Amino acid sequence: MKTGNPLLCASAAPFGAPEFNRFTLEDYMPAFRESIARTREEVDAIAACEAAPDFANTIEALEYAGRELSDLEGIFFNLLEAESDDRMQEIAEEVSPMLTELSVYISLNKSLFNRVRTVYERRSGMDLSREQERLLEKTYRHFTRGGAALQGEDRDLYGKWSEELALAELQFSHHVLSATNAYSLHLTDPAALEGLPESVVEAAAHAASLQGKDGWCFSLQYPSFAPFMKYADRRDLRRELYMAYHSRAIGGEYDNTALIRTIVGLRIKISRLLGYQTYADYALEERMAASCARVDTFLDALMQASLPRARAEVRELEEYARSAGFDGGELQPWDFSYYSEKYRKDHFDLDEEALRPYFRLEDCVDAVFSLAGSLYGLTFEERKDIPVYHEEVRVFEVRDADGSHLALFYADFFPRKGKRGGAWMTEFRGQYACGGTDFRPFISIVTNFTRPTPDRPSLLTHNELTTLLHEFGHALHGMLSRGTYPSLCGTEVARDFVELPSQIMENWAYEPEFLSRFRHYQTGEPLSSEDMRKIVAAKNFQAAYLQVRQLQFGLLDMAWHTLQALPDEGTVDFENRVLAPVRTLPYVPGTAVSPSFGHIFSGGYAAGYYSYKWAEVLDADAFEWFREKGIYNREVAGAFRKNILERGSSEDEAVLYRRFRGRDPQPEALLRSQGLL
């Protein structure tokens, strides 16, 4: 029988939404202990079932086991990323081994696996739907990939190493957040602010006041870091901030260099134990790319098409910088954004800061909602009666064209000390169906947009608008899901497919028909056709350089995860050796990407960072059809919704794309969209 723990009680909030206003930190551990115990009981009951194993009493029963625990994890781990503190981290470090132990207990349960294997071996004689076939296949593979076939000491090693890996990944994320929060560039001399736009200075003054300081404070959070690197005239300060950002978690209290070797070493041992040559071989088995060779070929083809052009772009920028008075020798990484912005203004007459007043956050949100309405008939109504975990979070009820309820959409826009950097979509509950009930999802996007000040609303750059569209695309994937089984619904798709719904949305940020709705927040003047032309013209500015930068991340990821043994050199030296052949800017000693590369060391993208580029091919190919038929074409949007957004992973992702497009994607579409052909 359930206790009175508010995390485990049925919610009285509308739609059963989480009652954040009732939870306390001290509720979590008792809730996890109770829910983990109940999940074990459910699993044991399935394993001990006296009836002959079939799809319903084994595969389906296992799929729905532990739903209470899944909801609890959805609350706690999302708040750990968005509204964390030291106590939350302590709880995470205590509960993570417990959850890993449960996962290992399930995957190594011999009786349970025997039932799953029996159903799998008899599948040809069963009258299963495509979705049921998919669930059976994934469940069986989950067990074999989770060590179910291991024997004796190997089973014990798998459990031990899995627990150690989960804890190391958690510590990695905590170190990055702590290292980011530990740094602040505090300036008191107004001369140090030369070049910075008024909005950036105002935000820095506000940040200083919140810390009880005079002057201006700049942090390593993106809305503070990026504008400083782009506009600050003081080269020495740009260098200082650059070094702080790119040496995060290298040495000191929050060192991740040794932790990376622990993580990679454990991944090597686990994958070898399971019969895979490398961790990448293990990870790619369940992705569209399927093999290391295919990923390597994909990355290499794009690199060969882009690297010469990227280096030419850097040389061109260096020549421009010298013509603009730069005399500091070779152009350094802390110079790149600064002179790129000046080049952009000179050649495209495009000043992103001057355009901020046209992209007030509230107007951007309205525009994105309107786009979803035009494409899919959705409407959004803000709900003040639904609890939130922070006063700045907003909640919207999402309805379909027929007025039926689809989802709750949470939006958390601004940086805080307890929130990690970047932007992401997540869910407090994913969509699924059970017992004749369609459980609609609770979807959230979390960003770190420029915070409003007492004198100015939150004004986004065009790049931040693009980020909003990207994360909202992920949100649509979750909100529009129409599946049955939780592990096949919404964004539970192959890692190299999951970015398609998000990246395709970015295209509208460069369409004049979409941009024409934006107006200056003070004067009401619409964004001029000339400004729109400049935005579109500048879309592919330094496209090759930016592509190579993403490819470098993908190559680094694959280098770490195709290792069969830890390298002799240290973390920073290993990274430098891997990236040296494809660098476009000078290497700066003491800096590295890996120690703060959360995507691959704590964020689920291990041997999967290439997927951003893989999905860009899909999105470029898909958007060509929109452009051909009209960017608001309901027929194309309907096909995208029916075959992609609603289907999750109910069928092979390549089949779903082929059904939408009528053919396989054409890789040339990406190079065409970037102007690189």
Long-range contacts of 9-14 (CB under 8 A, 24+ apart): 13/385, 13/386, 13/387, 14/383, 14/385, 14/386
Dist. CA 425–CA 422, nearest whole Å: 11
pLDDT at 584: 98
- 136, 128 Cβ separation under 8 angstroms: yes
Long-range contacts of 589-592 (CB under 8 A, 24+ apart): 590/243, 590/247, 590/250, 591/242, 591/243, 591/246, 591/247, 591/250, 592/246, 592/247, 592/250, 592/257
Cα separations in angstroms, 493 against 290, 295, 470, 498, 597: 14, 18, 17, 6, 22
pLDDT at 100: 94
pLDDT at 352: 87
- 338, 649 Cβ separation under 8 angstroms: no
Q: What single string gives the DSSP state of each residue in 195-210?
A: T--HHHHHHHHHHHHH
CATH of 357-542+612-674, one of 2.60.130.10, 1.10.1370.40, 3.40.50.450, 3.40.1360.10: 1.10.1370.40
pLDDT at 209: 96
Catalytic residue among 63, 81, 83, 471: 471
- 556, 574 Cβ separation under 8 angstroms: no
What is the mean pLDDT for each group of 10 consecutive residues in the chain (677 residues)?
Answer: 81 97 96 98 98 98 97 97 94 95 95 97 95 97 94 94 96 95 97 96 95 97 94 98 98 97 98 97 95 96 95 97 92 97 93 94 98 98 98 98 98 93 96 97 96 93 97 98 98 95 97 97 96 94 96 98 97 98 97 97 95 95 96 98 98 96 93 87
Dist. CA 156–CA 162, nearest whole Å: 10
Dist. CA 337–CA 510, nearest whole Å: 21
pLDDT at 1: 40
18: phi then psi, degrees, rounded to nearest 5: -55, 135
Please count the CA atoms within 13 angstroms of the CA of 503 that sit on its side-chain side: 19
Dist. CA 281–CA 607, nearest whole Å: 9
Placement of tokens 């939780």 in the chain: 486
What is the topology classification, in CATH, of domain 14-107+109-145? Glutathione S-transferase Yfyf (Class Pi); Chain A, domain 2 (1.20.1050)
Long-range contacts of 366-375 (CB under 8 A, 24+ apart): 367/514, 367/517, 367/518, 368/468, 368/469, 368/472, 369/396, 370/517, 371/469, 371/505, 371/508, 371/514, 372/472, 372/476, 374/632, 375/632, 375/634, 375/637, 375/641
What residue spans define the domains of the chain? Answer: 14-107+109-145, 183-246, 357-542+612-674
pLDDT at 3: 64
14-107+109-145 shares its CATH topology with 357-542+612-674: no
- Give yes or no: 121 in active site: no
pLDDT at 328: 82
130: phi then psi, degrees, rounded to nearest 5: -60, -40
According to DSSP, the β-strands at 405-412 and 394-399 are antiparallel
Torsion of CA 549, 550, 551, 556, to 10 degrees: 90
Dist. CA 299–CA 559, nearest whole Å: 12
Give me 199's structure tokens: 């909005």
Neighbours of 178 (CB within 10 A): 15
**Residue 482: exposure state from Cβ atoms within 10 A (0-12, 13-18, ≥19):** middle
- Can you tell me whether residue 21 is helix, strand or coil? helix
Is this prediction's pTM over 0.85? yes
Could you give the residue ranges of the DSSP H alpha helices within 330-461? 333-348, 352-355, 361-376
